[in-house]
Structure 1
Amino acid sequence: MSYQSDDEQVQLLKNLWKDYGQPVVLGVAITLAVVSGYQYWQKTQQQKIAEASALYQNLLDTVSNAASPDKPVQFSPPLTEEQKATVSHVVSVLQNDHGSSQYAAFATLFLAQQQVQEGQLSAARASLEWVLAQQPASEVQIMASVRLARVLISESSVNGQQALDILSRLNAGKSYEATVESVKGDVYLALGDRKQAEAAYQKAVNAAQDNGLNRPLLQLKLDDLAAMAPQEG
């Protein structure tokens, strides 16, 4: 193809840029912005995880516990007032700044555990309800639900049905069936329903045996119910 003048060629290039160049450049710009934004978001998320992990490690160091970062803190001796203040502060920061992280859930579970040990059942209940409100991973949900059911029944037998409702909503699977059924048995017993309690304890024993676990306390509870049976009526 030939052109009558350089001006025509320049005009043609201008038209091509107008028709095709700008959309292409705009598309490239949008792509670069998306990629850059994702990289920034990813970096921010990594920083948040690192901050949450450091805070949780601070809690572990405070209570001198050897639990790993991916598991909730286990039972520990009573805390000093200074340790309590540190734990309360760390949990508060994790809840406010990293509420969706597993570290916030684990730290709050530990706080609830301490609150139960000190007889602060209302506070423990609030802590466990906070964990559940975050819609945590299945294992954490089961753990928090089981502990909440125990706290509820410890507060009052009036809470028995609420505790049963919480436990009944759980999809515990075989791994946690023994634990969930055991707590159900405790709730039924607190409500005075020995028949349902015995059935729940038996399910718990069977589930434990299926998983190759030895739960002598469960068998003891069943034996105690059996010994009480002749006295009924």
Structure 2
Amino acid sequence: MSYQSDEEQVQLLKNLWKDYGQPVVLGVAMTLAAVSGYQYWQKTQQQEIAEASSLYQNLLDTISNGSSLEQQAQFSTPLTEEQKATVSHVVSSLQKDHGSSQYAAFATLFLAQQQVQDNQLSAARASLEWVLAQKPAVEIQTMASVRLARVLISESSGNGQQALDILTRLNAGKSYEATVESAKGDAYLALGDRKQAETAYRKAVDAAQDNGLNRPLLQLKLDDLAAMAPQEG
């Protein structure tokens, strides 16, 4: 049944009151209230998603000419001061008004990457911790955790154990095993444990190969560890 106007709903209630009495009318009124409440919630959710999407698209248009934020972070020239101000403003707006959305998470991940490039490690750490505090999907959680671990190690080798603890708590699955094990190797190396670092790097190489990926940097890390090993005789 479709109710086209508030007047029609009022008339319906009057007719029901006349024909069936108060119990039925109260039941219908509660049903209508529930339906209206759900429709309002659904409309609000759609508006919030649209607003978050629009902010995110503005960010893309401003700094990346339509490419993804990951591509922009990897391949573009450094951001201008004006672009940085735009990033900061948009991320702040997304965090404040749409903090639970993936748009906010991805924008904050991009901000953290820019902060690392500018050697603002404490700021990058705070950005990544914000992402994790939102309890995002496993893919975003894994990405943020790995990056946070690497930021911690970059801040100080003394943070190696903290970084390792973050990575050990992850349950990312096979798809991310190479990335996680590679970061674990970095953490072990920061702790001075070359044997465990080598084991982690080898796991990373094997996982990458199992997924059909070529990670030459991992092999380079293994070669560097071999070169650092004490020579016999």
Q: TM-score per shorter chain, which class?
A: 0.7 to 0.9
SS of corresponding position for 2:54 = helix
Q: Which residue identity does 2:79 align to in structure 1?
A: L
**Residue 188 (structure 1) aligns with:** 188
**CA distance, structure 2, for counterparts of residue 151 and residue 56 of structure 1:** 25
**Residue 31 (structure 2) aligns with:** 31
Q: CA RMSD in A?
A: 2.0
Q: 1:189 to 1:226 in 2, by over 3 A?
A: same
**CA distance, structure 1, for counterparts of residue 64 and residue 72 of structure 2:** 10
**Residue 130 (structure 1) aligns with:** 130
Identical counterparts, % of pairs = 87
Q: Pick which of 212-221 and 86-95 moved more.
A: 212-221
**CA distance, structure 2, for counterparts of residue 88 and residue 122 of structure 1:** 15
**Residue 67 (structure 1) aligns with:** 67
Structure 2: gaps of 5 or more residues: 1-16
Q: Are the counterparts in 2 of residues 181 and 200 from structure 1 also a CA contact under 8 Å? A: yes
**CA distance, structure 2, for counterparts of residue 39 and residue 232 of structure 1:** 75
- 1:67 Cα deviation (Å)? 3.3
**Residue 8 (structure 2) aligns with:** none
**Residue 157 (structure 2) aligns with:** 157
Q: 1:28 to 1:55 in 2, by over 3 A?
A: same
**CA distance, structure 2, for counterparts of residue 22 and residue 135 of structure 1:** 47
Which whole-Å deviations, capped at 9, do the CAs of 1:157-194 have from their partners, x for residues lacking one? 11111100100011111100000000110111122110
Runs of 4+ more than 4 Å apart: none
- Return the TM-score normalized by structure 2: 0.87
Correspondence list, 1:163-174, <5 A? 163-174=163-174
**Residue 85 (structure 1) aligns with:** 85
**CA distance, structure 2, for counterparts of residue 61 and residue 136 of structure 1:** 25
- 1:74 Cα deviation (Å)? 3.7
- 1:82 Cα deviation (Å)? 1.0
SS of corresponding position for 1:67 = coil
SS of corresponding position for 1:149 = helix
Correspondence list, 1:83-232, <5 A? 83-231=83-231
SS of corresponding position for 1:230 = coil
Q: Are the counterparts in 2 of residues 73 and 106 from structure 1 also a CA contact under 8 Å? A: no
Q: Are the counterparts in 1 of residues 73 and 114 from structure 2 also a CA contact under 8 Å? A: no
Q: 1:82 to 1:224 in 2, by over 3 A?
A: same
Which whole-Å deviations, capped at 9, do the CAs of 1:142-170 have from their partners, x for residues lacking one? 00000000000000011111100100011
- Return the TM-score normalized by structure 1: 0.87
**CA distance, structure 1, for counterparts of residue 71 and residue 44 of structure 2:** 25
Q: Which residue identity does 2:190 align to in structure 1?
A: A
Which whole-Å deviations, capped at 9, do the CAs of 1:38-85 have from their partners, x for residues lacking one? 01110110010000000001111111243359x786433211111111
Q: Which residue identity does 2:113 align to in structure 1?
A: Q
Larger Rg: 1
Q: Are the counterparts in 2 of residues 72 and 107 from structure 1 also a CA contact under 8 Å? A: no
Which whole-Å deviations, capped at 9, do the CAs of 1:185-233 have from their partners, x for residues lacking one? 0111122110010000011011111111111111121122122223499
**CA distance, structure 1, for counterparts of residue 212 and residue 229 of structure 2:** 29
